[in-house]
Amino acid sequence: MISILLENEKHLKMCTTNIAMSIGATVNLQQRTSTVKNRNLIIFFVILIQAGIYGKYLEGLNVNLGDALLFLREYDSAASLMCTRVTMAQWNFATNITDTNHQKMIDEQALKLKFERASWRKAITFAWSRIPDPLARRELKMIATKGRYSLTDDKFNEIHRLISEMKEIYTKARVCPYKRIDVECNLTLDYDINKIMGNSKDYDELLYYWDAWHEAIGPKLKNKYLRYVQLANQAAKLNGFADAGDQMRELFEDEYFQQNIAEVMSAITPLYKNLFTYVRSKLNERYGNRIREDGPLPAHVLGNMWAQNWENLFELVQPFPASKKLDVTLDMMIHGITPLRMFQIAEEFFTSLGMKPMPPEFWKFSMFEKPIDREVKCTPSAWDFCNRIDYRIKQCTTVTMDALLSTHYEMARLQYYLQYRDHPLLFRSEALPGFDEAVSDAIGLSIFTPQHLHKIGLHNNLTDDYDSNINFLMLMALRKVAYAPFAYIVDQWRWHVFSDGVENMTAYWWELRMQYQGIVPPMPRSERNFDPAAKYHIPADNLYAKYFVSVVLQFQLYQSLCEISGHTGELHTCDLYRSREAGRLLSDVLSMGASKPWQDIVRKMTRGRTNRIDASAMLKYFEPLNAWLKRENEMQPVIGWITGRDNNGIFHFVSALFAQWYQSGAQKIELWSFLSLLLLTYSITIY
């Protein structure tokens, strides 16, 4: 800690200034730090604070509640105005992509960073963990423990520049078409490669695009990411945390968070392995001996660049092909449904629950369709302009069932914003990272049922037979169950890098993917490849554990809302439409925002059943499918995956799929990597 504080004179002066402000000191700080004796005394004082004499976090000494409340009132007013300015600039750019709008957005974001840094410096002058008012204490903590404002100016600017550069490299990456010569290499991930990965059945074509994308990203980002890790850790330690992963986990406000989600992942794993085994058998039918009957799967054949969503394999793995996939797109066209009508349908779902209608500003300012006169970002999104008045959705709506679902998802987010809008700005946020996603997806579980679509006149062939139910649950499992282990490992990898160092980052990435997903790289890898960077959230510095939280919490919320609505029968057939009881519970949960610890909100949400993230509702939802999968897999050699056997029954590395631990020339595999992989080969997960 001493070496970190001595690293830069500017940071030392900042810390001593904060202390001086806290105790009302008026002496000249420069004079106080001019002698070694006084300098060391001040450093020692700062260390005592940061090391935990007054708690885990970086804090000052001011415990005056009046001062704290005055600061928070001023902060709320200024931060709300700043939020409105930045959000408006972001909206203008997203709905009209021009260089001018882009520069305006960058300028506003830079101004916001300066404001937030100044607010952080003021917040840490308080001994906020000892402020007697619980709401004030909570607000101060939110300001004091987020961000990397403890870095010196040059390093603070450097880490934000690094993240911006990494994001730019990612978004501007292009690859060449497969087996085409003398053509422009301009294929993008979102508009070209993802479609190919989802639709192609050509093993070699899929392999080409998988490799081309990873090659376009990882090697270019590795060195930048190494420096990013170094700076992120420095900032976290200066703020009182063990490392940057420790600081990220603070967002979940639970010292047992990692243990909680590990238990949830363990509970989901048997269901995932049953799904995995069945899907592998179908891929073996498609690709022959390129897919081992008892082994892991290569990462490129699951219909998605990261093997995180397997929905594009539905036609291959559909349990009962005679029953059609649920899709009301044609019905929507026959009924003359327009994009505007889709938003009206979504609003009516929420008002049928007794929840709030959209305000006039929503209908006036939202972007419902793609304009023809300018370039826009079409990714659907919900917007809160931080003024308790202006709420919008941006979506390039097409008349499809997917767009109808997306409309409901985004309007669910707006409902969240509307419900908590009376709180101070800091509490106008989700209860914990991933909760707004869970709310949207829980609504989606109700909307995306034959029962609901029939009620609103978009699904005439309502059948509740066994075949249709299993098909439906298979589709949902390819979306939800297949995603869970990937959502789990991304931040497990990142937090390991922050805590244990940057050696063997790529090897550890594939160790985790092998362990939890049964996924391996389809071709030789080395540390040069830096494959984790091929997922945007890694270079973009975006938290990912929230998606694991959301995929589990959505079922907990859905189950509770279904129970209070009086639903009987299988959980996956529940439709919340017109249930005022469900609407009241949902409104009560959403209206708390982030004003209370999320455990209290989850207890309210589950009506006292639990205050933790729990997999039981998710397992109940998929139980009919799980029973079917167990029967289908009875003849499979392995439930799960193994790496291979020799004639003596000893496990070994036999496949090029494991060549991420490939050695070339003078490169030598580290002993720890070899030992950890050896242990992995003995981790045969058969139950």
Residue 339 lies in a domain: no
108, 139, 311, 410: the catalytic one is 410
Residue 138 lies in a domain: yes
pLDDT at 463: 73
Question: Tokens standing for 350?
Answer: 């929420």
Residue 234 lies in a domain: no
CB 667 within 8 A of CB 526: yes
Place of tokens 């297949």: 482
CA–CA separation, 317 vs 331, rounded Å?
25
Residue 61 lies in a domain: yes
CA–CA separation, 346 vs 407, rounded Å?
7
- Three-class SS state of 62: strand
Question: Tokens standing for 226?
Answer: 């190494």
- Helix (H) / strand (E) containing 394: strand 391-394
Please check if 205 is assigned to a binding site: no
pLDDT at 335: 95
pLDDT at 55: 52
Residue 158 lies in a domain: no
Residue 245 lies in a domain: no
Helices H, strands E: what count in the chain? 28, 4
CA–CA separation, 355 vs 337, rounded Å?
24
454, 537, 581, 632: the catalytic one is 537
pLDDT at 660: 36
| Low-confidence spans in the chain with pLDDT less than 70 | 1-56, 644-687
pLDDT at 644: 53
CA–CA separation, 215 vs 217, rounded Å?
6
pLDDT at 34: 42
Q: How many domains does the chain have?
A: 1
CB 85 within 8 A of CB 110: no
Q: Which of 308, 287, 324 is nearest to 206 (CA)?
A: 287
- Three-class SS state of 326: coil
CA–CA separation, 478 vs 473, rounded Å?
9
Domain range spanning residue 107?
A: 56-146
* Residue 2, φ and ψ in degrees, nearest 5: -60, -45
Residue 204 lies in a domain: no
Residue 40 lies in a domain: no
Q: Is 369 a catalytic residue?
A: no
CA–CA separation, 491 vs 465, rounded Å?
40
Q: Is 410 a catalytic residue?
A: yes
pLDDT at 22: 39
For strands 297-298 and 391-394, give the pairing.
unpaired
- Helix (H) / strand (E) containing 598: helix 598-605
Question: Tokens standing for 108?
Answer: 């506003």
